Copies of this chain bind each other. A is one copy, B any other.
C-alpha cells in the first residue's frame, strides 16, 4: 500500500492490483480475465475489412432470392419470371443506399452508427427510435442467419430437419461463447471463411452461366414440392411490392462497415469507403446472378430445401463433393453474419446505456473486455425467437429488415440535415456540435441531395414493407419499437431524476446526527444473541432489547435468561396475541419513530444464524431478511444483521 497524496486534510491511499484472479470454471469456458490495459488497438486493411464487415450483407444472398420466390409462388410458378426484374430494382436501391453511406463515412470517421448520426443531427427521440429499430434488427439478424444456416445443413442432410431448432440453438450458444471469449484474432479468422464463401459461390455462379450459355443447364432434378395453401392468385401490384420488400433483406448488413470505420487503417475513411463500394459491387453481382440462374433452373422455394441448395446441385449436376463444400461455405458465412450482430448489438446497447437509455450494467466490460451482458442478452433473445418461429426463415422474414430501413431513413435524413446546416455556414465559420466540428464545405448541395434521395428511397421501401407485410408479422415490430422507446424514456427519466436527487450541487450536507438508538431483537437467549448484544453495545449506549411474545413459556424463559445474561439492558416484551412476529415489532418501531428527532437514527440489530449448509436456512425463519424488506422504505432506520457462524 503506497501513500500517494495528502492534501486538503484527506489521506488518499492507493492499493495496487493483486495478481490476476484464479482460474475458475468460467475462465475455463471463456478464457482468463484480461486487464483493462489489454484493450486491442489493432487496425485492419481493406481486404480484411471486407471479410470482417461484409459477411452479414453478402450472406443475405443465401436467402433473399428464395424469399422473393416464396411470395411470387402464390401466383403460381409462372410468376417466378418477375423475380429478376425485382432483383434489378433492389440492386438500384442498393446503389443509392451505398452512395449515401459512403458520404456518411467521410463525415463520421469515428463511428457512423445510425444511432449517433440521428442523435447528433435530428434529435433524441428519433435516435431512440433508430436505436430500438437497430437492436430489434440485430436480434433478428442472429435468428434469421442461424435459421438459414441450419436450413442449408438440412437441405444437404434432410434427416436433420426435425432437429433444426436444437441445431440452431446450439449454434447460437457457440457464437455467444466465442463472443464472450472476445475475438482478438478477428482479422484472419474472418478472412478465411468469407473468401472461401466468395470463391465457392462465384465458382457455382460461373459454372452455372457456362452451362447456361453452352445450353447444357438443365432444370432442378427432383425439385421439392411447391407448398401453396390457397388457389393460384393473380399477379397484383401488391404481390410484386410484397416480393420486392422480401428481397430487400439483401440490403441488411450494408451499414456494418460504417459502424466500424475506426477499425480501418489510415486513411480510414477512404479505406472504409472503398471497401463499402467493393462490397456493394460483389453483393449486387451475386444477388442478380443467383436470381437469374434460379429462374433458369426453375428452382422452387421450400422449407425442405433452400433455393441455393437447388442451384448448387443443379450447377454441379448432383450432390457431389463440390456441392457439399459449397453448401458448407454458405452455412459458415451465415453463421459469420450472426457473429456481426454479436459485435454490433452489445456495442450499440453500451452506447445507449452510456446515454442513460438502457440499464447502466450494459456498459460494463466483462472479464474478457467485451460487453458480456449485451452478448448474453442478444443470445437469449435470439434463441427465444428461434424457438417461437421454429427456426423458419420465411416465418421470420416479415419481422426482419423493417428496422434496418427505419434506421437507414433516419440516418440519411440526419446527414441531409447536416449538409443543409453546413451549407448555411459562412465560409470560415465553425460550429462545434456533439463529437464533431462543422465548417463550410463546397458541393454541399449535391451531397444533401444524395443523402436526401437515399432517405426518401429507404422511407418508401419501409412504407412498402410495413404495408405489404403488416399482417404477416411486421405489426409486431411496429408495435415493439414504440414500446422499446417508451422503455428507454422511462429508464432515462429514472437516471436523470436520480442524478438530480443525489447531486451535491447546492447541497448543504446531511444534518448531523446526535442520537443513535439501537434496538436488539431477541428471539431467544443463546450464544448468537449474546454475540449480537456485544456488537450492539459497540454501536450506542442507548440500547433496548425487544422480544415478541408469541408463546408464554418461551417468553418466561427469555425473561429469566435475559436477567442473567442481558448485561442489565432493559428488555421490552411485545405481546402478540395473533402470533405475528413482524407486525408487533413494526407497531413498536412506529411508536418510537413517531417521536424520533430529525437528528436521531435508529438501528435494529438482528442476530442471525449462519448454518453450515445453505439448505439449513429452510429450517429457520428469515426474520432479518423480512424486516429489512419491510423497513427499506423508512428513512432513518437501518437494519443490521449480525451473523453468528454456527460450527
Interface residues of A (CB under 8 A from B): 1, 5, 7-18, 20-21, 33-37, 359-361, 364-367, 491, 494-495, 497-498, 501-504, 507, 509-510, 512-513, 516, 525-528, 530-531, 534-535, 537-540, 550, 559, 561-566, 568-580, 583-584, 587-588, 601, 609-611, 616, 618-621, 632-635, 637-638, 640-643, 645-647
Contact = CB atoms under 8 A, between A and B. Distances in A.
B17 A575 contact: yes
Contacts of A587: 18
B570 A12 contact: yes
Contact of A610 (B365, B572, B632): B632
A563 B10 contact: yes
A174 B290 CA distance: 66
Given A359-B619, A504-B525, A619-B359, A570 B13 contact: yes
Contacts of A501: 527, 646-647
B10 A575 contact: no
B619 A645 contact: no
Contacts of A513: 534-535, 537-538
Contacts of A565: 504, 509
Contacts of A535: 513, 601, 638
A93 B527 CA distance: 55
Contacts of A502: 526-528, 646
Given A17-B576, A575-B15, A635 B645 contact: yes
The 8 closest A-B pairs by CB, nearest first: A11-B570, A502-B526, A35-B577, A17-B575, A33-B578, A9-B568, A13-B572, A8-B563
A522 to B, nearest CB: 12
Contacts of A637: 643
- Copy tally for this chain in the complex stands at 2
Contact of A571 (B12, B361, B495, B550): B12
A611 B642 contact: no
A616 B10 contact: no
5 contacts: A11-B571, A14-B572, A37-B577, A504-B565, A638-B640
Given A359-B618, A495-B619, A578-B35, A510 B539 contact: no
B638 A610 contact: no
A575 to B, nearest CB: 4
Contacts of A365: 579
Contacts of A516: 538
A579 B370 CA distance: 11
Given A538-B513, A577-B35, A497 B572 contact: no
A578 B619 contact: no
